[in-house]
Amino acid sequence: MTETLVKDDQHIGRIAAEQGISPKQVKSVISLTNEGNTVPFIARYRKEMTGALDEVQIRNILERWQYIQNLEQRKDEVLRIIAEQGKLTEELQQAIVKAEKLQEVEDLYRPYKQKRRTKATVAKEKGLEPLAEWLLIFSNENPEEKAKEFLSEEKEVLTVDDAIAGAKDIIAEMVSDDADGRKWIRHETYKSGGVVSVVKDADQDEKNVYEMYYEYEEPVSKIVPHRILALNRGEKEGILRVSIKMNADLILSYLAKKWVKKEHVPAGQIVIEAIEDGYKRLIQPSIEREIRNELTEKAEEQAIHIFSENLKNLLLQPPLKGKMVLGVDPAYRTGCKLAVVDETGKVLKIDVIYPHPPVAKTKEARDKFIKILRDYKVEMCAIGNGTASRETEQFVADILKEMDQEIFYLIVNEAGASVYSASDLAREEFPNFQVEERSAVSIARRLQDPLAELVKIDPKSVGVGQYQHDVSQKRLSESLHFVVETAVNQVGVNVNTASASLLQYVAGLTKTAANNVVKMREEEGKFTSRAQLKKVPRLGAKTYEQAIGFLRVLDGKQPLDRTGIHPENYDEVKKLLTNLGFNANHLGTEELKKALSGLDLKVVSEELGIGTLTLKDIVDALMRPERDPRDDLPRPLLKKDVLKLEDLKSGMELQGTVRNVVDFGAFVDIGVKQDGLVHISKLSNHFVKHPMDIVSVGDVVTVWVDSVDMKKGRVALTMLQPS
User: What are the pLDDT digits (tens) for 89-120?
Assistant: 999 999 999 999 999 999 999 999 988 899 99
Q: Alpha-carbon Rg of the chain, whole angstroms? A: 33
Average pLDDT, the chain: 94
Distance (Å, whole) CA 169 – CA 415: 57
| Percent over 90 (pLDDT), the chain | 85
Distance (Å, whole) CA 677 – CA 609: 55
Q: Where are the beta strands (DSSP E) in 24-96?
A: none
Distance (Å, whole) CA 237 – CA 401: 50
Element (H, E) at 460: none
pLDDT band at 660 (very low <50, low <70, confident <90, very high): very high
Going by their DSSP bridges, the two strands 336-341 and 325-329 should be labelled as: antiparallel
Backbone angles phi, psi at 587, to 5 degrees: -50, 135
Average pLDDT over residues 502-507: 97
pLDDT (0 to 100) of residue 589? 94
- β-strand partners of 329: 337
Q: Using one digit for the tens of pLDDT, what is the confidence trace for 311-348?
A: 999 999 999 888 999 999 999 999 999 999 999 899 99
Residue 418 has pLDDT above 70, yes or no: yes
Backbone angles phi, psi at 383, to 5 degrees: -110, 125
Q: By C-alpha distance, which of 100, 97, 106, 113 is closest to 68?
A: 100
Distance (Å, whole) CA 302 – CA 308: 10
Going by their DSSP bridges, the two strands 215-219 and 325-329 should be labelled as: unpaired
Helix axes 601-608, 612-623, angle to 10 degrees: 100
Cβ contact 421:327 at 8 Å: no
Task: Kindly state the DSSP code that residue 586 receives in the 8-state scheme.
Answer: G
Average pLDDT over residues 571-585: 96
Q: Using one digit for the tens of pLDDT, what is the confidence trace for 188-199?
A: 999 999 999 999
pLDDT (0 to 100) of residue 711? 85
User: What is the architecture, at CATH level 2, of domain 119-193+246-307?
Assistant: Orthogonal Bundle (1.10)
Task: Kindly state the DSSP code that residue 598 receives in the 8-state scheme.
Answer: T
Cβ contact 185:287 at 8 Å: yes
Cβ contact 274:136 at 8 Å: no
- β-strand partners of 660: 667
Residue 1 has pLDDT above 60, yes or no: no
At residue 654, what is the residue type? L
Number of residues assigned to the chain? 723
pLDDT band at 263 (very low <50, low <70, confident <90, very high): confident
Cβ contact 462:417 at 8 Å: no
CATH number for region 645-718: 2.40.50.140
pLDDT (0 to 100) of residue 470? 87
Cβ contact 127:152 at 8 Å: yes
CA-to-CA separations, 29 to 462, 509, 571, in angstroms, rounded: 32, 20, 26
Residue 166 has pLDDT above 80, yes or no: yes
Distance (Å, whole) CA 387 – CA 623: 46
Q: By C-alpha distance, which of 330, 303, 131 is closest to 233?
A: 303
Q: Using one digit for the tens of pLDDT, what is the confidence trace for 105-160?
A: 999 999 999 888 999 999 999 999 999 999 999 999 999 999 999 999 999 999 99
Q: By C-alpha distance, which of 584, 554, 591, 586 is closest to 569?
A: 584
Task: Kindly state the DSSP code that residue 115 receives in the 8-state scheme.
Answer: P
Average pLDDT over residues 599-624: 95
CA-to-CA separations, 194 to 166, 219, 248, 295, 329, in angstroms, rounded: 34, 4, 12, 12, 49
Cβ contact 678:703 at 8 Å: yes
Between the two ends of the chain, the Cα-to-Cα distance in Å is 70
Q: By C-alpha distance, which of 271, 298, 305, 84 is closest to 164?
A: 271
- pTM exceeding the 0.85 threshold for the entire prediction: yes
pLDDT (0 to 100) of residue 2? 61
Distance (Å, whole) CA 414 – CA 393: 14
Strand order in the sheet with 215-219: 215-219, 194-199, 240-245
* HEC profile of 641-693: CCCCHHHCCCCCEEEEEEEEEECCEEEEECCCCCCEEEEHHHCCCCCCCCHHH
CA-to-CA separations, 206 to 210, 237, 239, 306, in angstroms, rounded: 10, 12, 10, 29
Q: By C-alpha distance, which of 402, 456, 433 is closest to 338?
A: 433
Residue 645 has pLDDT above 90, yes or no: no
Q: Which pairs with CB-CB distance under 8 Å and at least 24 residues apart come from 28-31? A: 29/53, 29/58, 29/61, 29/62, 30/61, 30/62, 30/65
Do the two domains 2-112 and 645-718 of this chain adopt the same fold? no
Q: Using one digit for the tens of pLDDT, what is the confidence trace for 354-402?
A: 999 999 999 999 999 999 999 999 999 999 988 898 899 999 999 999 9
Q: Using one digit for the tens of pLDDT, what is the confidence trace for 674-692?
A: 889 999 999 999 999 999 9
Residue 26 has pLDDT above 90, yes or no: yes
User: How many other C-beta atoms are found inside a 10 Å radius of the C-beta of residue 293?
Assistant: 10
Residue 4 has pLDDT above 90, yes or no: no
Distance (Å, whole) CA 414 – CA 590: 41
CATH number for region 2-112: 1.10.10.650
Domain boundaries, the chain: 2-112, 119-193+246-307, 645-718
Residue 178 has pLDDT above 60, yes or no: yes
pLDDT (0 to 100) of residue 663? 92
| Three-state SS at 545 | helix
**DSSP annotation string for 164-233:** HHHHHHHHHHHHHH-HHHHHHHHHHHHHH-EEEEEES-GGG-TT-TTGGGTEEEEETTT--HHHHHHHHH
Q: By C-alpha distance, which of 177, 131, 137 is closest to 151?
A: 131
Residue 672 has pLDDT above 90, yes or no: no
Cβ contact 442:467 at 8 Å: no
Average pLDDT over residues 245-255: 96
Q: Using one digit for the tens of pLDDT, what is the confidence trace for 424-476?
A: 999 999 999 999 999 999 999 999 999 999 999 988 888 777 778 888 999 99
pLDDT (0 to 100) of residue 674? 83
Q: Using one digit for the tens of pLDDT, what is the confidence trace for 33-55?
A: 999 999 999 999 999 999 999 99
Task: Kindly state the DSSP code that residue 320 receives in the 8-state scheme.
Answer: -
pLDDT (0 to 100) of residue 415? 81
| Three-state SS at 383 | strand
pLDDT band at 414 (very low <50, low <70, confident <90, very high): confident
Cβ contact 689:717 at 8 Å: no
**DSSP annotation string for 459-486:** GGGSS--SSGGGS-HHHHHHHHHHHHHH
Distance (Å, whole) CA 493 – CA 489: 7
Residue 226 has pLDDT above 70, yes or no: yes
| Three-state SS at 582 | coil
Distance (Å, whole) CA 237 – CA 252: 34
pLDDT band at 271 (very low <50, low <70, confident <90, very high): very high
| Percent over 70 (pLDDT), the chain | 100
Does residue 143 have a cis bond before it (omega within 30 degrees)?
Answer: no
Residue 72 has pLDDT above 70, yes or no: yes
